[in-house]
Amino acid sequence: MSKKVLVLGEVREGSLRNVSFEAIAAAKQIADGGEVVGVLLGDAVAGLTGPLFEYGADRVVTVEHPHLKQYTSDGYGQALLAVIEEEKPAGIVFGHTANGKDLSPKIASKLQAGLVSDVTSMEGTGDDVVFIRPIYSGKAFEKVKVKDGIVLASVRPNNIAPLEKVAGKSGDITSLTVDITNLRTIIKEVVRKSSEGVDLSEAKVVVAGGRGVKSEDGFEPLKELADLLGGAVGASRGACDAEYCDYSLQIGQTGKVVTPDLYIAAGISGAIQHLAGMSNSKVIVAINKDPEANIFKVADYGIVGDLFEVVPLLIEEFKALKVNA
């Protein structure tokens, strides 16, 4: 049976995040031929609706209010609940991002609904949808069904393929006016610490360093390699604890979970806590002086050697590849 499914679009620094397009693909699968409605909340989002249509939304609802300039669970909660009240969807898909993780349980609680968090793939369509999600830090997976009622899910970035973009596609936009009151939290300041450019949790290529990087400067060649490949730099807890880099780069059980197409681990031994944050990456390359390092057990390709010799050589080779391509 076809269903109407909402997708909460997420805007970061003035543009939609990829995970929103991935969420549309997930919503299509739940909708099973039904309508997929993109939802955008913010202080000025009317100009951002285009990509939602291009990636498969049939319609878009926007709510604009000065109190939605920054995410708060109260403000976004009130706005999204108003949209739900108006649209009466049979499903809602969120990105499993900091804000999606914060908001989705509140909405689920308000609707007394089942919410499947951190979904990495799906089987079936419509009423038969089964969500697949990692448990035990990715050491196992579970298949989950929502028993009845509205279906809520949040999708982990970089796992569900977005639909093919249809350039220039558009559709109906509804602007909903919502009274947003009684915000109990005030955001005084946002401190940007993560690296400029590519978002680590959405990056297609991650170059990560561990204790073997030895110093803050030691991260420079890794940054150069990441930039060259259009990727982001990450780190193990060891490197963060040693103050070679900020904790915002940490990948692992505590820290970020990433699933890029290519993960290059340089000077990382591969503690189980680190593997929890990256072992589901599509292709893993390990560079380590110690041939017994645990990281080689999960790597697709390994080079036993000093990262300070290997990484500069890699940069040269990738540059050559780019020139020839």
Partner 1 sequence: MNIFALIKRTFDTEEKIVVSGGKIQEDGAEFIINPYDEYAIEEAIQVRDAAGGKVTVVSIGGEDAEKQLRTALAMGADEAVLINTEDDLDELDQNAAAYILAEYLKDKDADLILSGNVAIDGGSGQVGPRVADLLGINYVTTITKLEIDGTSAKIVRDIEGDSEVIETSLPLLVTAQQGLNEPRYPSLPGIMKAKKKPLAELELDDLDIDEDDVEVKVETVDIFLPAQKAAGRVLEGELSAQVKELVNLLHTEAKVV
Which of the residues 129 through 158 are near partner 1 (CB under 8 A)?
A: 130, 133-149
Please identify, using beta-carbon distances, which residue of 142 and 172 lies nearer to partner 1.
Answer: 142
Task: Give the nearest distance from C-beta 175 to partner 1 in angstroms.
Answer: 27
Q: In angstroms, how far is CA 19 from the centroid of its own chain?
A: 5
Are 252 and 219 spatial neighbours (Cβ–Cβ below 8 Å)?
no
Q: Map the footprint of partner 1 across residues 194-213, applying CB under 8 A.
A: 194, 199-201, 205
Task: Kindly indicate which of the ranges 32-40, 44-52, 172-180, 316-324 contains the residues binding partner 1, using the contact rule CB under 8 A.
Answer: 316-324
294 binds partner 1 (CB under 8 A): no
Report in angstroms the alpha-carbon separations of 96 from 9, 104, 176. Answer: 12, 9, 25
Please identify, using beta-carbon distances, which residue of 178 and 285 lies nearer to partner 1.
Answer: 285
The partner residues of 317 in beta bridges, in order of sequence, read: none
Pairing of strands 5-8, 36-42: parallel
188 binds partner 1 (CB under 8 A): yes
84 binds partner 1 (CB under 8 A): no
Task: Give the nearest distance from C-beta 22 to partner 1 in angstroms.
Answer: 16
Q: What contacts 18, CB < 8 A, 6 or more positions away?
A: 157, 158, 162, 202
Q: Per-residue contact track with partner 1, 242 to 271, x per CB under 8 A? A: ----xxxxx--xxxx----xx---------
163 binds partner 1 (CB under 8 A): no
Token digits for 228?
Answer: 């060259």
Please identify, using beta-carbon distances, which residue of 4 and 256 lies nearer to partner 1.
Answer: 256
Total binding residues for partner 1 by CB under 8 A? 93
168 binds partner 1 (CB under 8 A): no
Q: Which residue bears the tokens 């949808």?
A: 129
Report in angstroms the alpha-carbon separations of 71 from 40, 76, 127, 145. Answer: 12, 6, 32, 29
Helices 73-87 + 98-110 axis angle, to 10: 50
323 binds partner 1 (CB under 8 A): no
| CA 235 – CA 258 distance, rounded (Å) | 11
Q: Per-residue contact track with partner 1, 11 to 50, x per CB under 8 A? A: ----------------------------------------
Out of 180, 239, 278, 314, which residue is the one contacting partner 1 (CB under 8 A)?
314
Out of 102, 127, 224, 227, which residue is the one contacting partner 1 (CB under 8 A)?
102
Task: Give the nearest distance from C-beta 29 to partner 1 in angstroms.
Answer: 17
224 binds partner 1 (CB under 8 A): no
90 binds partner 1 (CB under 8 A): no
Please identify, using beta-carbon distances, which residue of 62 and 120 lies nearer to partner 1.
Answer: 120
The candidate with the shortest Cα–Cα distance to 219, out of 245, 193, 196, is 245
Task: Give the nearest distance from C-beta 168 to partner 1 in angstroms.
Answer: 29
Cα-based angle 242, 246, 249 (whole degrees, multiple of 5): 110
Are 139 and 25 spatial neighbours (Cβ–Cβ below 8 Å)?
no
- The phi, psi pair for 39, rounded to 5°, reads -125, 130
115 binds partner 1 (CB under 8 A): yes
| CA 93 – CA 10 distance, rounded (Å) | 11
